[in-house]
């Protein structure tokens, strides 16, 4: 049992000094944390986005949300079915071909709980940073966001 040559914990990763790499790692860690906090509500980052959009824009259609979130229509169908099966949303025939979605009382309840979880999560990881660091991070992210040209709009925290 001799593996003194290259134990895994001393292996370098030549990319880990890059800001882009660190950004990705931090982003993934934060997403994982939020996902775990949302699991008790049976929400993923994507279904959370959908639920909160319906909450803030009652009557929204699946297609509208797909355009907003950069996902394909075909992938919204099972999500809407799942929410309907869980009695979180109801469909309002709007148009004959499209249906406006809105939260049920139960859906509103879940949305409220979800927003509290999101707020607690955000507050916790922001508390790691000083006021100055928070401000600087926000500014840097805004600069980087306004600079990106194309790139998908995708989802969540």
Q: What are phi and psi of 99, to 5 degrees?
A: -125, 125
Query: For residues 1 and 85, which CB has a smaller minimum distance to its own copies in the complex?
Result: 1
CB of 60 to its own copies, least distance (A): 5
Examine residue 27 and tell whether it contacts DNA (CB under 7 A).
no
User: What sign does the CA torsion over 37, 40, 46, 50 have?
Assistant: negative
- Of residues 74 through 113, those in contact with DNA by CB under 7 A are 74-77, 80-81, 95-99
- How far apart are the C-alpha atoms of 1 and 89, rounded to whole Å? 59
Q: Is 64 helix (H, G, I), strand (E, B) or coil?
A: helix
- Of residues 85 through 124, those in contact with its own copies by CB under 8 A are 115, 118, 121-122
DSSP state of 99: E
Residues of this chain that bind DNA (CB under 7 A)? 1-3, 44, 46, 61-64, 70-77, 80-81, 95-99, 152, 154-155
């Amino acid at each position: 049992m001799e593996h003194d040559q290259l134990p895994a914990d001393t292996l370098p990763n030549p990319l880990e000094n890059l800001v882009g790499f660190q950004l990705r790692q931090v982003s993934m860690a934060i997403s994982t944390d939020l996902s775990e906090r949302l699991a008790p509500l049976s929400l993923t980052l994507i279904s959370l986005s959908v639920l909160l959009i319906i909450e803030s824009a009652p009557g929204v259609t699946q297609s509208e949300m797909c355009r907003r979130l950069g996902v394909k229509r075909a992938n919204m169908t099972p999500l809407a079915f799942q929410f309907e099966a869980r009695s979180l949303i109801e469909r309002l025939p709007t148009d004959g071909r499209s249906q406006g979605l809105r939260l049920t009382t139960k859906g509103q309840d879940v949305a409220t709980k979800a927003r509290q979880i999101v707020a607690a999560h955000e507050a916790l990881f922001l508390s790691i940073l000083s006021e100055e660091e928070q401000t600087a991070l926000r500014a840097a992210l805004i600069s980087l966001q306004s600079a990106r040209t194309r790139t998908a709009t995708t989802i969540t925290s």
